[in-house]
C-alpha cells in the first residue's frame, strides 16, 4: 500500500517570522541617495516663513536656504529642487529671466555652498513669477500660448545654467519644452546640464498647498496644459516624446494617485524615472498625524516605499531630509 502524502501547506508567513528575515528578503528598499528635497526660497524676507498648509516646510531666506542645502548634502540625499518666490510678479514672469531674480541667485548660492557634492536642480516654469499664476505667457484672449512660452523657457534654462545649476526641471507642460530647453542649453555651451522632465504631469487637486508655498495667484485651473487624470497611456506617450527631445530623467507627478502610471512608464523606458510626492500628499499625512490618527513616521516610510516599488528610481519629497535620517 502506498502512503498518501498530503501536500504541505504553503506558508509564505515563514519568511515573515523575524525582523531579520523580513529585512533579508525585502524586494525593494528606498535609499537616501534617491531622495530629492524640493525647497522654496523667497525674495525680500529676513526670516523663514512657515507655510501653514505644509507644517514643517518653510519659504527660506537666501541664507537659511544655504544652510539647509548644506545639511541636505551631509545627509547624503540625491539632490535639491529649488523653487523661487519673487517679491513681485508680472504678466510675463520677468523675474524668472532676470539673472538677479530670486531663483537664479539662489541657484548660485546653493552651488557655491555644496559644489558638486549634491545635485542642485531648478524648477523651470513661469507660474511662480507670473501675476496670473499660469505656467506660460498668455495670448490677448487669455489662453496659455505654447510657442511664445517656449522662448521664455529657453531663456530661463540658459539663466539657470549660467547660475550654475546641475539639472533643470521643465514643469510647465508646454509641448516641445524639453527639446527647446535642450537646444538652448547646448547652444550656450551647457551640454552637461541635465534635464529632469516633468513629463507626465497631471492637473491635480493635490497641488493645493504648493500654491500657498509659492504665493500663487492662479484663478481657475491648468487643465488646458496639464494632463487629465483619466489617462495613463497618454502619460507614457508624453514620456516617450520627452525622451526623444533629450530628457535625461522623466518624471510622473503627482505620485500617489498615479502609481499605475509610474509602473507603466518604468516598464516602457530605459532612462531613470522620477516621481514627485507632492504637497497635498505631504499635507494629508501631516494633518492626519497631527490629529493622532496615523503613525507619522511609519506612514512616511510606507508612502515613499510604495512610490519606489511602483517603479520610481528617484523621489522628490518634502520628507527627503527626515526620511534620510530614518533610513540611515
Ligand atoms: C509648476 C509646479 C507645480 C508644482 C511643482 N512645479 C505646481 C503646479 O503645476 O500647479 C507642484 C508641487 C507640489 O504640489 O508639491 N511650477
For residue 300, tell me if it sits in a domain: yes
For residue 218, tell me if it sits in a domain: yes
For residue 219, tell me if it sits in a domain: yes
Taking residues 240-263, what's their average pLDDT? 98
Range of 72's domain?
29-327
Digit-coded pLDDT (tens) for 18-36: 999 999 999 999 999 999 9
Q: Which atom of ligand 1 is nearest to the CA of 198?
A: 6
What's residue 1's pLDDT? 60
User: Percent helix, strand, coil in the chain (nearest 5)?
Assistant: 45, 20, 40
Q: What are the C-alpha distances in Å from 288 to residues 38, 66, 212, 256, 285?
A: 22, 31, 19, 16, 5
Taking residues 55-76, what's their average pLDDT? 98
Distance 33 CA to ligand 1 centre (A): 22
* pTM of the complete model: 0.97
**253 in catalytic set:** yes
Q: Is the model's pLDDT at 3 over the cut of 80?
A: no
Number of domains in the chain: 1
Distance 5 CA to ligand 1 centre (A): 61
Q: Is the model's pLDDT at 54 over the cut of 70?
A: yes
For residue 115, tell me if it sits in a domain: yes
For residue 16, tell me if it sits in a domain: no
Domain CATH code at residue 134: 3.20.20.70
For residue 14, tell me if it sits in a domain: no
Output the nine-digit C-alpha cell for 113: 555652498
Digit-coded pLDDT (tens) for 126-162: 999 999 999 999 999 999 999 999 999 999 999 999 9
CA-based nearest residue to 313, from 270, 277, 274, 262: 274
* 108-126 burial code (b ≥16 CB/10 A, e <16): bbbbebbeeebbbbbbbbb
**Residue of 37, 54, 125, 214 best suited for mutating to test ligand 1, as the one with most atoms within 8 Å of CB:** 125
Distance 301 CA to ligand 1 centre (A): 22
Taking residues 254-268, what's their average pLDDT? 98
**∠ at Cα 254 (115, 71), nearest 5°?**
25
Q: Which atom of ligand 1 is nearest to the CA of 128?
A: 16
Lining residues, ligand 1, CB within 6 Å: 123, 125, 127, 135, 171, 207, 210, 222, 278-279
The residue whose C-alpha atom lies closest to atom 10 belonging to ligand 1 is 207
Residues in the chain: 328
Q: Which atom of ligand 1 is nearest to the CA of 218?
A: 10
For residue 24, tell me if it sits in a domain: no
**89 in catalytic set:** no
Distance 188 CA to ligand 1 centre (A): 27
For residue 37, tell me if it sits in a domain: yes
When pLDDT is cut at 50, 70 and 90, the band that residue 4 belongs to is confident
**Residue of 37, 122, 127 best suited for mutating to test ligand 1, as the one with most atoms within 8 Å of CB:** 127
Of 128 and 3, the structure prediction assigns the larger pLDDT to: 128
Q: Active-site residue among 60, 66, 201, 222?
A: 201
Digit-coded pLDDT (tens) for 195-220: 999 999 999 999 999 999 999 989 88
Residue 174 and residue 150 in contact, taking contact as beta carbons nearer than 8 Å: yes
Neighbour tally for 30: CB within 10 Å: 22
Query: What is the rounded distance in angstroms from the CA atom of residue 209 to the CA atom of residue 58?
Result: 12
Distance 270 CA to ligand 1 centre (A): 25
**In sequence order, what DSSP letters do the residues of 96-157 get, joined into one string?**
GT-TTSHHHHHHHHHHHHHTTSSEEEEEE-STTTBSS--SSPBPTTS-B-HHHHHHHHHHHH
Q: Active-site residue among 253, 262, 269, 285?
A: 253
Amino acid at each position: 500500500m502506498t502512503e498518501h502524502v498530503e501536500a504541505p501547506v504553503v506558508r509564505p508567513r515563514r519568511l515573515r517570522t523575524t525582523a531579520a528575515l523580513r529585512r533579508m528578503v525585502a524586494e525593494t528598499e528606498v535609499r537616501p541617495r534617491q531622495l530629492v528635497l524640493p525647497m522654496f526660497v523667497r525674495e525680500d524676507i529676513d526670516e523663514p516663513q512657515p507655510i501653514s498648509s505644509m507644517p514643517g516646510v518653510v519659504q527660506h531666506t537666501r541664507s537659511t536656504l544655504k544652510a539647509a542645502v548644506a545639511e541636505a548634502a551631509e545627509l547624503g540625499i540625491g539632490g535639491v529642487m529649488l523653487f523661487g518666490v519673487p517679491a513681485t510678479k508680472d504678466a510675463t514672469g520677468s523675474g524668472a529671466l532676470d539673472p538677479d531674480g530670486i531663483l537664479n541667485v539662489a541657484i548660485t548660492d546653493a552651488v557655491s555652498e555644496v559644489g558638486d557634492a549634491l545635485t542642485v536642480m531648478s524648477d523651470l516654469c513661469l507660474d511662480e513669477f507670473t501675476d496670473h499664476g499660469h505656467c506660460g505667457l498668455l495670448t490677448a484672449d487669455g489662453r496659455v500660448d505654447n510657442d511664445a512660452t517656449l522662448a521664455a523657457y529657453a531663456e530661463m534654462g540658459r539663466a539657470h545654467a549660467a547660475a550654475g545649476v546641475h539639472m533643470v526641471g521643465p514643469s510647465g507642460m508646454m509641448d516641445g519644452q524639453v527639446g527647446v530647453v535642450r537646444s538652448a542649453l547646448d547652444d550656450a555651451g551647457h551640454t552637461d546640464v541635465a534635464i529632469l522632465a516633468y513629463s507626465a504631469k497631471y492637473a491635480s487637486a493635490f497641488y493645493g498647498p504648493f500654491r500657498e508655498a509659492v504665493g500663487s495667484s492662479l484663478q481657475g485651473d491648468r487643465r488646458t496644459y496639464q494632463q487629465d487624470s483619466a489617462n495613463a497611456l497618454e502619460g507614457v506617450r508624453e514620456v516617450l516624446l520627452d525622451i526623444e527631445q533629450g530628457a535625461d530623467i522623466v518624471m510622473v507627478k503627482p505620485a500617489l494617485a498615479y502609481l499605475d502610471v509610474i509602473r507603466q512608464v518604468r516598464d516602457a523606458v530605459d532612462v531613470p524615472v522620477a516621481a514627485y510626492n507632492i504637497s497635498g500628499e505631504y499635507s494629508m499625512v501631516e494633518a492626519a498625524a497631527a490629529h493622532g490618527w496615523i503613525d507619522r513616521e511609519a506612514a512616511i516610510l510606507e508612502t515613499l516605499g510604495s512610490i519606489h516599488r511602483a517603479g520610481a528610481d528617484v523621489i522628490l519629497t518634502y520628507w527627503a531630509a527626515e526620511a534620510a535620517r530614518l533610513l540611515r
